[in-house]
Amino acid sequence: MNNELKTNLLASFNTLNQTIAITCDKALKNKDQILILAASKKQPIEKIKSIYDLGVRNFGENYLQEALEKKNKLPSDIIWHFIGHIQSNKTKLIAESFDWVHTVDRLKLIERLSLNRGSNLKPLNICLEINVNNEANKSGFLLNQIPEINTAIELIKTKKNLKLRGLMCLPELTNDLKKQRQNFALVYQLMHQLNKAHQLTMDTLSMGTSNDLESAILEGANLIRIGSMLFGPRI
Ligand SMILES: *Cc1c(COP(=O)(O)O)cnc(C)c1O
C-alpha cells in the first residue's frame, strides 16, 4: 500500500477520533466508552490492514463470502461482527465465523445460530435489529412489535451459547439532526425498557454511521459502525 493512502487513512482515523472526543465532551461521556466498529464491506484488504495497524480490532462485514475471504488473510485477533441481512441458509457459517451478530430479526435465526454455534467457541454476542422508521426495504423488529421482541428475548435467554448484548439500528438517512436524534432516542429508550422488564443487562447500543455518528453518541450509542468516513468510498 502506498504511503499516500496510508497518510489518508491516518488522517480519517484522526478526524473520526476527534469527532468522537468532541461529541463525548458535549454528552459528558468518556470517549473510551465508544467502540469503533470499522464497517469494511467492499473495502480492499490493504486498507483494512492499515486500519488494523492503527489499532482498530473490531470489523463489521455484510456479505458472508466476502467476509470469509478477508478473514483468512487478516490477523486472527480481529473481532468480527456480522452487520448485514442474514439469509437463513447462511446461519451455520455465520455462527461459526463471527464473534458478534448485529442483525437478528426473527426467531428462526436465534434457533439456527444457537444450533450452529460450536461448544468450543465463546457465546455468540447478539444484537436485535430494530427497524425504527418502519422501512419496507429494511429488516428488524418494529418499535411496536414488543410482544415479538419479548419472545425473541425469552428464546435467547434459553440458549447458553448466545449472549444478548443489545440493540442495533440503521434509521432512515436524513441530514435533519433533530430527526436523527429522535430516531436514536427511541432505540435507547427501548433498550432500557427491555432491560427493566426482563431483568437484563444489555450493554450495547449499536447505532450511528459516518452520516449520523454524532447524533447517535448524543443519544447513547456506544458502538458506532463507521465505513466511508474511515476508508473512503466503497469499491
Ligand atoms: C455499510 C454499513 C455501515 C457503514 O456505513 P457508512 O455510511 O459507510 O459509515 C454501517 N452499518 C451498516 C449496517 C452498514 O451496512
pTM comes to 0.97
SS3 assignment for the chain: CCHHHHHHHHHHHHHHHHHHHHHHHHCCCCHHHCEEEEECCCCCHHHHHHHHHCCCCEEEECCHHHHHHHHHHCCCCCEEEECCCCCHHHHHHHHHHCCEEEEECCHHHHHHHHHHCCCCCCCEEEEEEEECCCCCCCCCEECCCHHHHHHHHHHHHCCCCEEEEEEEECCCCCCCHHHHHHHHHHHHHHHHHHHHHHCCCCCEEECCCCCCHHHHHHCCCCEEEECHHHHCCCC
- Which pLDDT tens digit goes with each residue over 69-97? 999 999 999 999 999 999 999 999 999 99
Residues in Cβ contact with 18 at an 8 Å cutoff, skipping those fewer than 6 apart? none
- Which pLDDT tens digit goes with each residue over 36-56? 999 999 999 999 999 999 999
Residue 5, pLDDT above cutoff 70:
yes
| Model pLDDT, residue 213 | 98
Nearest CA to 227 out of 101, 48, 17, 66 is that of: 48
* Torsion of Cα atoms, 44 then 226 then 202 then 26, to 10°: 160
- Which pLDDT tens digit goes with each residue over 156-207? 999 999 999 999 999 999 999 999 999 999 999 999 999 999 999 999 999 9
Distance 170 CA to ligand 1 centre (A): 8
CA-to-CA separations, 153 to 36, 199, 202, in angstroms, rounded = 26, 11, 11
Q: Whose CA is nearest to atom 6 of ligand 1?
A: 227
- Which pLDDT tens digit goes with each residue over 107-153? 999 999 999 999 999 999 999 999 999 999 999 999 999 999 999 99
| Model pLDDT, residue 20 | 98
Mutating to test ligand 1, I would choose from 20, 36, 209, 212 the residue with most ligand atoms within 8 A of its C-beta, which is 209
Tell me which residues have their CB closer than 6 angstroms to ligand 1: 39, 41, 62, 83, 170, 209-211, 225-229
| Model pLDDT, residue 29 | 97
Mutating to test ligand 1, I would choose from 225, 226, 228, 229 the residue with most ligand atoms within 8 A of its C-beta, which is 225
- pLDDT more than 90, % of the chain: 98
| Model pLDDT, residue 1 | 60
Q: Whose CA is nearest to atom 13 of ligand 1?
A: 83
Ligand 1 atom closest to the CA of 209, numbered from 1? 9
Distance 213 CA to ligand 1 centre (A): 11
| Model pLDDT, residue 2 | 81
| Model pLDDT, residue 198 | 98
